[in-house]
Structure 1
């Protein structure tokens, strides 16, 4: 019985130690260089939202910076962006850009930054295949896993 109690306590503590605290997630941006004929703006806007939602769900203590809040930074200078992140009470901020190079191949570029110093904590460049909702969800979960604990 004692082992079960110890295991339960450890199981509760381990996820907390492995997640980033106070992460501001800036709106995910898309760079579409695929030159596809069909306009996919609506689908991509939805998928950018999916990626942001997954990151917020997967990173404990995450706060999403909205497009309206981001509009306060014109131009988007480093100091202004870090100030927005500090205003949320976050210690870290994540900036994500997705590049679509073809129908099948997309890349995610993510930077995790210390909000106080502006120092780069972690940088991740990931590839994923499939321009559909599920592929973007999986990419978001994988990215969150990569970022968890990166600032420890």
Structure 2
């Protein structure tokens, strides 16, 4: 019967809906008097199918629409290890990490990443030298100036040479609301360890963004 109804929805209707079928017994209703008008049933099913199709189309359009733009702010480090060294020794690693995260997010299709020079220019225009992770909302102003729909704030907390954590927060620019925030523990104060943590973060973000189950936290 379902196949016949489905055929009713098509233009060619190779199996035309008959005007009536013999009386049938429906549980709880007893003997039906007179024939069932299958044409009316077809109309009802056709209307339901149209509504379902529109809902499915809307869901697909949302899922497959153009991704939002995101500004990846320059990554920072919070070093409480007490280790001796140049205060700028992590600068090159942080710059490389910022580029890597932008590239991975762009490749994943989660967002369209704002070119880093535009973000850096917006940072220079808005921020007066305070940490981006605690600048009292300047990240939103930076993202607006860069023309982004969302903004990613990322920083490393170095506890020691072996122990560290990657902190990530993504905010919606229009509302200022945090839409994603996680902390990823990892080991190693070197470029390879940082890259692995960043790649894991993007994978977890991808799962969360697509509504799938996230991998367990940590490295």
Q: TM-score range by the shorter chain?
A: 0.7 to 0.9
Return structure 1 stretches of 4+ with deviation > 4 angstroms: 149-152
Q: Write out aligned runs for 1:13-52 (5 A).
A: 21-37=68-84, 39-52=85-98
Counterpart of 2:122 in structure 1 is 69
Runs of 5+ consecutive residues of structure 2 not aligned to the other structure? 1-62, 107-111, 211-219
Q: Per the alignment, in what secondary structure is the counterpart of residue 77 of structure 1? A: coil
Q: Does 2:153 match 1:95?
A: yes
Q: Write out aligned runs for 1:104-115 (5 A).
A: 104-115=162-173
Higher Cα radius of gyration: 2
CA distance in 2, matches of 1:111, 1:77: 14
CA distance in 1, matches of 2:75, 2:104: 15
Q: Per the alignment, in what secondary structure is the counterpart of residue 181 of structure 2? A: strand
Deviations 1:77-101 (CA, angstroms, capped at 9, x unpaired) = 31x4212212322211011121000
Q: TM-score, normalised by structure 1?
A: 0.76
Counterpart of 1:56 in structure 2 is 102
Q: Could you tell me how far 1:40 is from its partner in structure 2?
A: 4.4
CA distance in 2, matches of 1:69, 1:141: 26
Deviations 1:10-32 (CA, angstroms, capped at 9, x unpaired) = xxxxxx96x96311111111110
Say whether the 8 Å CA contact 1:28–1:51 is kept in structure 2. Answer: yes
Q: TM-score, normalised by structure 2?
A: 0.54
RMSD: 2.4
**Cα 1:41–1:130, aligned 2, differ >3 Å: closer, same or farther?**
same
Say whether the 8 Å CA contact 1:20–1:149 is kept in structure 2. Answer: no
Runs of 5+ consecutive residues of structure 1 not aligned to the other structure? 1-15
